[in-house]
Amino acid sequence: MSADGQTPLEAELKAQIAQDGPISIAHYVAQVLGHPKHGYYMSRDPFGGRGDFITAPEVSQIFGELIGVWCAAGYQMIGAPERFALVELGPGRGTLMSDVLRAAKVMPGFLAAAEVHLVETSPLLTQNQKIKLNGAGVPVNWHPTLESIPEMPFIVLANEFFDALPIRQLQKGAAGWHERVVGLDEDALTFGLAQSEAPPAFADQGAPEGTIAEISPIRDQVAQTLGARLAAHRGCGLIIDYGHTRSAPGDTLQAMSKHGYVDVLHRPGHCDVTSHVDFQSLARNIEAGGAKTYGPVPQGPFLHAMGLEVRAEKLKEKAMSRQKRLIDSAVERLAGRDQMGELFKVLAFTHPDCPMPAPFEGLSP
Ligand code: SAH
């Protein structure tokens, strides 16, 4: 923070806007999260009690273990290949991958066949992942994007990755749709609308003036890449995130600091800025290459169907009473309807020749 109370990125963005005019929301989010020097993920570990937010793998090892059981079944489903890429997008501290490997190694052949490929942009988190996965017994590689991962059969996981990819916001004005932008009012960052018209955000032309719609070309492109890989190789995967089952208008851009919501324009680079994931759009883009998708289903029913209670009871057998209470509260946090159980959703995808993966046959969206 500089002497005038601004973050370094705030000063930089203001200078840029003063010179070149307002910037799109997508550009703002990309800079706030990914600016090489001042971006939120570039210099900090945001997870856990002393950070800004907590994710499911950080709540309890049970989450990663149940995902590991899913991966073990997925490995069988894709034909138990001799080698396969176990891919994670945005692996954070590496906790999910570490728990997945521990749980999935019960499947014969899984560990010997797996090469881990992590897609990560943050140098600091890459370091943390290296430490966490040191000694995991599998080769681990890092990539800036999915594209450089070798072409081979694969299982891919993404937990709270897509919400961190930038969105564009379009707002309906009196005559048409306009890009929502970040500009300057006196010396403060402020939201505004671009003068020029943008293409209609979605088919609903009857939307009232002021309606905000979100699109994310970057998310759609990652989903298309996954779909193309699934057309070429046997593979499957899970996307877990907060968001909506069907595309719908609404402003979901949000910022978090120290476990509370703050203004999206507050202290850029020091707060996490995310938005809800449009699962319908992701599924459509994955399917464009011929792959099949299942769900999304809410996280609570998904975890219950994967054996959340059984695993929790097993852990409690060896636990002291304080630990038992912690396990109970983790189960509630992960699967409770007013916690992560309903807002968070799970979308599965597979190569077109694969059968429906468990536990989707028993779950309705
Ligand atoms: N999956 C982890 C972390 C979620 S936070 C968990 O559940 O705990 C988002 C993660 O995505 C971080 O690791 C962040 O550095 C990474 N990330 C954000 N934007 C990215 C991008 N454009 N490309 C690759 N990784 C990105």
> Does residue 46 contact residue 272 with C-beta atoms inside 8 Å?
yes
pLDDT at res. 175: 81
Q: Is residue 85 part of a domain?
A: yes
Mutation to probe ligand 1, out of 119, 121, 141, 344 (largest number of atoms < 8 A from CB): 121
Instruction: State the amino acid at position 316 in one-letter form.
Output: K
Q: What distance in Å separates the CA atoms of residue 6 and residue 268, rounded to the nearest whole number?
A: 9
19-28, 73-82, 169-178, 195-204 — which is least confidently predicted? 195-204
pLDDT at res. 206: 79
CA distances from 217 to 162, 232, 271, 278 (A): 12, 23, 23, 12
Q: Is residue 358 part of a domain?
A: no
What length does the chain have? 365
Give the burial string for 217-241 (b: 16+ CB within 10 Å, else e). Answer: ebbbebbbbbbbbbeebbbbbbbbb
Is residue 1 predicted with pLDDT exceeding 80? no
Which tens digit of pLDDT belongs to each residue from 203-244? Answer: 666 789 999 999 999 999 999 999 999 999 999 999 999 999
Q: Is residue 2 part of a domain?
A: no
> What does pLDDT average to over the chain?
94
Instruction: State the amino acid at position 163 in one-letter form.
Output: D
Is residue 365 predicted with pLDDT exceeding 80? no
Helices (H), 185-235: 217-232
Is residue 261 predicted with pLDDT exceeding 70? yes
- Residue 364 or residue 249, greater confidence: 249
Which tens digit of pLDDT belongs to each residue from 318-352? Answer: 999 999 999 999 999 999 999 999 999 999 999 99
Mutation to probe ligand 1, out of 33, 41, 344 (largest number of atoms < 8 A from CB): 41
Instruction: State the amino acid at position 213 in one-letter form.
Output: A
Token output for 291: 């792959």
The closest alpha carbon to 277, from 304, 257, 296, belongs to 296
How much distance in Å is there from the Cα of 183 to the middle of ligand 1?
27
Within 13 Å and on the Cβ side, how many CA atoms surround 93?
Answer: 17
CA distances from 324 to 112, 330, 334, 338 (A): 35, 10, 15, 21
Q: Is residue 229 part of a domain?
A: yes
| The model's pTM | 0.96
pLDDT at res. 50: 82
Q: What distance in Å separates the CA atoms of residue 66 and residue 146, rounded to the nearest whole number?
A: 24
Domain enclosing residue 274, as ranges? 8-350
CA-based R_g, the chain, Å = 21
Which tens digit of pLDDT belongs to each residue from 110-153? Answer: 999 999 999 999 999 999 999 999 999 999 999 999 999 999 99
pLDDT at res. 74: 98
Over range 66-91, report the average pLDDT.
98
Q: Is residue 13 part of a domain?
A: yes
Closest protein CA for atom 17 of ligand 1: 90
CB 40 less than 6 A from any atom of ligand 1: no
Over range 270-291, report the average pLDDT.
96
CB 161 less than 6 A from any atom of ligand 1: yes
Is residue 191 predicted with pLDDT exceeding 70? yes
**How many domains does the chain fold into?**
1
pLDDT at res. 276: 98
Q: CA geometry: angle at 32 spanning 239 and 125, to 5°?
A: 55
Q: Is residue 356 part of a domain?
A: no
CA distances from 232 to 153, 226, 248, 289, 353 (A): 9, 10, 32, 9, 12
The closest alpha carbon to 307, from 24, 113, 40, 72, belongs to 72
pLDDT at res. 176: 87
Q: What distance in Å separates the CA atoms of residue 236 and residue 270, rounded to the nearest whole number?
A: 35
CA dihedral defined by 108, 112, 115, 118, rounded to 10 degrees? 60
pLDDT at res. 199: 78
Q: What distance in Å separates the CA atoms of residue 316 and residue 63, rounded to the nearest whole number?
A: 15
Token output for 50: 């002393």
How much distance in Å is there from the Cα of 89 to the middle of ligand 1?
7
The closest alpha carbon to 116, from 96, 127, 125, 108, belongs to 96
Which tens digit of pLDDT belongs to each residue from 14-47? Answer: 999 999 999 999 999 999 999 999 999 998 899 9
SS3 152: coil
- What percentage of the chain has pLDDT greater than the value 90? 88
SS3 73: helix
With residues binned 3-state (H G I as helix, E B as strand, rest as coil), the percentages for the chain, rounded to 5, are 35, 25, 40
How much distance in Å is there from the Cα of 166 to the middle of ligand 1?
12
CATH of the domain at 155: 3.40.50.12710
> Does residue 285 contact residue 342 with C-beta atoms inside 8 Å?
no
- What percentage of the chain has pLDDT greater than the value 70? 97
Is residue 3 predicted with pLDDT exceeding 70? no
What atom of ligand 1 comes closest to residue 34's alpha carbon? 19
Q: Is residue 128 part of a domain?
A: yes
Q: Is residue 360 part of a domain?
A: no
